[in-house]
Structure 1
């Protein structure tokens, strides 16, 4: 809930100390209002919390059978643990009494319990790993799929490293809580009830001490955990900043070097690391305070039982076996309270993680079309009718444009930077949608507005180096997974790339690094063009696709495009006269409007744009 600022300014007295006190008070109030730990102050807070819990369990359906099985096993282990205390007590008392037959009986039972635990433990470990991987991977697939099919403009507002952190770290947090914390919570509850029942039957007064100390420890944990959700989110956001900085600076290391940014980047890195350090130290402070408080309470209760036991043994009121059993039972009563308090930060972190993942699932999906009709298009015309679009409110990039591109035509878009050339490409690729008007495909009696399904009709060569790490063959097959070597060589030949690929020591199997490291910019661009040729789609889009080629190679590539069979509709964004020469039409974008340029003005237009 946002707190609105007062309409009129607040005037403070001139006293320096009063103003300082007032600022502290205001800061404290603001922190309390903005504190994002779990609130249950209203029905809406409760509904929001239940919504997050429901979301978590809706994604846990595939592992529910294992979860139930795991809970049952944990309950059995908890009961066996309590019974083992009774066995230990009886064994010690029998040994002190010199009753050899009872000693052997209780010893046999203890060995059987130990062997049973040893045999079952590996099974639970394998099941735990299996279910944890299945759950994590299942949630990751769902989130990743949603990102892939989400609206491009909305998803691009979230940094890629933030998306990666949510898909990995936050999913891992949720998986750990569902498969680790929940079964442990049930087990601890059974242990608490069973241990308390046994303890109260042996010494009611000591049981009351344990019960009093336990809730007190939970309260302490709750007090110190109020800041933990805030710290969790702050830590995750700072981690995103750190990873983003590292990723971008390493990816753009050439820019860093050429702009002599090494020292400045080191300063930025130190600032981020200092912030991470401060958050980590705050986390540690709360953990230490919680641990110290709990240790004090636990030690107080332990020494109370210890003194009580020693005095009763001295008086002959209790046996040594009962004394040791009581100490073990107290630890089993105290441990659940301590563990429960320790689980609170985990639960808070899980709720925060769920919030972050729910934000991704809240991203709107792209507009889908009818695949059946999409496959019927073979030579579609492109039509823009009254298309208006702007990335920001009250800002228009394209203003009521109308344009028809007949099938098989080669058309160029030119214009100053920022006038909307790339925006038209994004409309064709359905990465964005018109705010007014329609962008559609037409062929005979079929008419459909552009959707994500129509990307199956488009080959696209974007600006810059867009190759992936892997072999050249892998990169080319991104255009057509089923392409044969003959098809690949033909595409490379048309892109003027076959010669240099064959000269490489491993040819098509040559491994290249991220963004084509290992080959030149011009070579990487030709591989990208060959990749688009392999798609063999009716629409080909070249966005400054020949900018890194020398004029002679560029002309050869453009002639290959003109001779492709079947001939695609080719849309080119370029500033180079050699590319403009092959176009049927040249369209200039200025101030959101389209204007056709005569062929006699090609060099004049090109010189204006250089």
Structure 2
């Protein structure tokens, strides 16, 4: 038994077309029949022309001209209509697929982005959707045209002479078996090519993102060699697929030519014996050419379809990935203290090494708390657990007296404003970048948030002020100004909990002092958690947790910890030196 390679991907891909199936099929079959019918009509025209020449009958010629003229006229009228129906259905369907892929990416957990390169995600969204679309267009359209041309010609040949037609049907069956044999290896190669194309896109996006590093360290040749390596791998797989396709098409060509030559010889013998007329033989030859062309197209159709289904498979793989777990909304009461509790919490990124190892700590309402300690100790991981980006492996995390996991992600993130170490600015106006903090904010609220972050005066000096377009990655704005715009975004959100992960690290001393003054006035009554390496920024914190090896090794305020002469004291002295 032969496996129907890609049948599951094909069914699922076609399910997206279901709401527009009627329009799509009208357009698809209309185009397929229209493209094939002209070649079938040519067989009758050729028969009439040969008969007219043999009998010297001009009326037969006029009859042929009427036939082909009326056919062309009908095609000119209806083919554009069929094309419109078909193309509109395809474009609308692809818009829905791309929207679903985009929505899915929005719902994927942070772990997915930690483990998958952005280039691979971009490749699935762009390259794979483009190739999957060809299943609706090139793949199925060629199959319909080929089927109409081949079957239509075979039926008419059968009516003219059933003996030749039966022989050709046997040949067609053999060709079908051969093409099915080639389907699986072509599909496997297509899967590998799309996977390697994703890796190639990863290398290219790395080159773009790290362009200045590459230039600075003069590593163009190294980067180029890596790119060439992946490019050559893709090329090698593509050539291997071309080789298999070439063998398939060559086999189809050889067998179809045998069929053509055989029908021509048999037909000639039948004319000599008087079993059929010469004009009928001319029509049979034209129909046989149609069938041969259909056989030649079979391999190409199979190859094109398998390439498209391989890309569809990668899209469906993404769509089937686990999303962030849905949680039912629970009533969040923000006046309960303590605000956040970690109880014997364990977390590991790889399931082997614990980043957090039975850590316990309590954060009271309205306090400013700092996490300090050596790099890799788990400080930023604590913030990401609070935000619900990751789920603890063991222990408990409580928010306002209830398990963090009893709240929906929407509730958790509505109650928290987060400023990471490297904030991202979108390619949009400065005003809209700040508005990401709260999208229903008025312009006046945006201006006030910018003033609070001490970035308003800078924005006003720009030629277009708040309407200045931020270039990709904020390249036209200094690092300090980018961070202050991001802090303004957090101020605009006005959440009861504020998380600052090295939020002042990109600021010079003058800007840092301005931000500290703004923080002191705007964060009164809020619960603030600060991750800081520059310990001078957290001296006034209500409580400082010193975290090392995933555990709290010291806690207290600045003066208490200095007096203990422990790790915190050592960190202070090392920075003073």
Q: Give TM-score scaled by structure 1 length.
A: 0.84
1:408 matched residue in structure 2: 366
Distance 1:238 1:299 in 2: 37
2:3 is the counterpart of 1:67: no
Q: Which among 6, 10, 14 is matched to residue 57 of structure 1?
A: 14
1:123 matched residue in structure 2: 81
1:605 matched residue in structure 2: 571
Distance 1:329 1:566 in 2: 87
Q: Helix, strand or coil: the match of 2:376? A: coil
1:88 matched residue in structure 2: 45
- Superposition deviation, residue 509 in structure 1: 2.0
Q: Note if contact 1:411-1:587 (Cα within 8 Å) is conserved in structure 2.
A: yes
Q: Note if contact 2:31-2:83 (Cα within 8 Å) is conserved in structure 1.
A: no
Q: Give TM-score scaled by structure 2 length.
A: 0.88
In structure 2, the CA distance between the partners of 1:65 and 1:408, relative to structure 1 (3 Å rule), is farther
Q: Helix, strand or coil: the match of 2:304? A: helix
Distance 1:301 1:130 in 2: 39
Distance 1:587 1:298 in 2: 80
Distance 1:287 1:88 in 2: 35
Q: For 1:284-323, what aligned pairs fall within 5 Å after superposition?
A: 284-309=242-267, 318-323=276-281
Q: Note if contact 2:29-2:144 (Cα within 8 Å) is conserved in structure 1.
A: no
Q: Note if contact 1:429-1:450 (Cα within 8 Å) is conserved in structure 2.
A: no
Distance 1:566 1:379 in 2: 17
Q: Helix, strand or coil: the match of 1:508? A: helix
Q: Helix, strand or coil: the match of 1:386? A: strand
In structure 2, the CA distance between the partners of 1:89 and 1:544, relative to structure 1 (3 Å rule), is same
Q: For 1:104-503, what aligned pairs fall within 5 Å after superposition?
A: 104-182=62-140, 184-309=142-267, 318-371=276-329, 373-374=331-332, 377=334, 381-442=339-400, 449=406, 451-453=408-410, 454-503=412-461
Q: Helix, strand or coil: the match of 1:596? A: strand
Q: How far does the alpha carbon of each residue in 1:2-36 deviate from its partner, in whole angstroms, 9 at most, with x for none?
A: xxxxxxxxxxxxxxxxxxxxxxxxxxxxxxxxxxx
More off after superposition, 576-585 vs 377-386? 377-386
Q: Helix, strand or coil: the match of 2:359? A: strand
- Superposition deviation, residue 136 in structure 1: 1.5
In structure 2, the CA distance between the partners of 1:341 and 1:154, relative to structure 1 (3 Å rule), is same
Count of aligned residue pairs for this structure pair:
565
Q: How far does the alpha carbon of each residue in 1:372-393 deviate from its partner, in whole angstroms, 9 at most, with x for none?
A: 635x647772222332111122
- Superposition deviation, residue 93 in structure 1: 4.6
Distance 2:198 2:40 in 1: 48
Q: Note if contact 1:195-1:330 (Cα within 8 Å) is conserved in structure 2.
A: yes
- Superposition deviation, residue 234 in structure 1: 2.1
Distance 1:233 1:446 in 2: 43
Q: How far does the alpha carbon of each residue in 1:146-184 deviate from its partner, in whole angstroms, 9 at most, with x for none?
A: 222122213532222222222233233333224553454
- Superposition deviation, residue 139 in structure 1: 1.6
Distance 2:242 2:10 in 1: 27
Q: Helix, strand or coil: the match of 1:173? A: helix
2:515 matched residue in structure 1: 557
For structure 2, the 5+ residue unaligned runs are 563-567
Q: Helix, strand or coil: the match of 1:397? A: strand
The CA RMSD over aligned residues, in Å, is: 3.0
1:596 matched residue in structure 2: 555
For structure 1, the 5+ residue unaligned runs are 1-37, 41-45
Q: Note if contact 2:540-2:558 (Cα within 8 Å) is conserved in structure 1.
A: no
Distance 1:329 1:313 in 2: 17
Q: Note if contact 1:469-1:511 (Cα within 8 Å) is conserved in structure 2.
A: yes
- Superposition deviation, residue 554 in structure 1: 1.0
In structure 2, the CA distance between the partners of 1:72 and 1:344, relative to structure 1 (3 Å rule), is closer
Q: How far does the alpha carbon of each residue in 1:357-385 deviate from its partner, in whole angstroms, 9 at most, with x for none?
A: 332233222123334635x6477722223
Q: Which among 524, 527, 530 is matched to residue 569 of structure 1?
A: 527
- Superposition deviation, residue 143 in structure 1: 2.3
- Superposition deviation, residue 557 in structure 1: 0.7
Distance 1:537 1:94 in 2: 89
